[in-house]
């Protein structure tokens, strides 16, 4: 533990959370969102996947996010395309 101005921090418990947004083409319903969420959620390092079907946007959070190729493969496995 490190004390700083009355605050106590535990450096070994601090984990950086990365966040990323991607655009997925072809989603139109909750079933689409569930499929994309499930495939991306299987990837190592991903802790949260939030899908906005109307915007076609997927927000991904985790300690160490996967690269573009892994995300593209997961989206395609769900039956959709990574836009851009």
pLDDT of residue 20: 96
Total count of domains within the chain: 1
Question: What is the CATH classification number for the domain harbouring 52?
Answer: 3.30.70.100
8 phi and psi angles, rounded to 5 deg: -115, 125
Q: Is residue 7 part of a domain?
A: no
Cα–Cα distance between 12 and 74 in angstroms, integer?
31
Burial readout 20-38 (b: 16 or more C-beta within 10 A, e: otherwise)? eebebeebeeeebbebbbe
Print pLDDT tens along the chain (84 aa). 444 455 555 555 556 789 999 999 999 999 999 999 999 999 999 999 999 999 999 999 999 999 999 999 999 999 999 997
- Could you list the residue range(s) of the whole structural domain that residue 49 is in? 16-82
């Amino acid at each position: 533990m490190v004390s700083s101005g009355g605050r106590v921090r535990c450096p070994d418990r601090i984990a950086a959370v990365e966040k990323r947004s991607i655009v997925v083409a072809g989603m139109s319903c909750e079933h689409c969102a569930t499929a994309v969420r499930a495939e991306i959620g299987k990837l190592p390092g991903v802790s949260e996947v939030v899908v906005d079907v109307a915007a076609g946007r997927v927000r991904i959070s985790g300690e160490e996010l996967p690269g573009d190729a892994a995300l593209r493969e997961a989206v395609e496995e769900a039956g959709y395309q990574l836009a851009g």
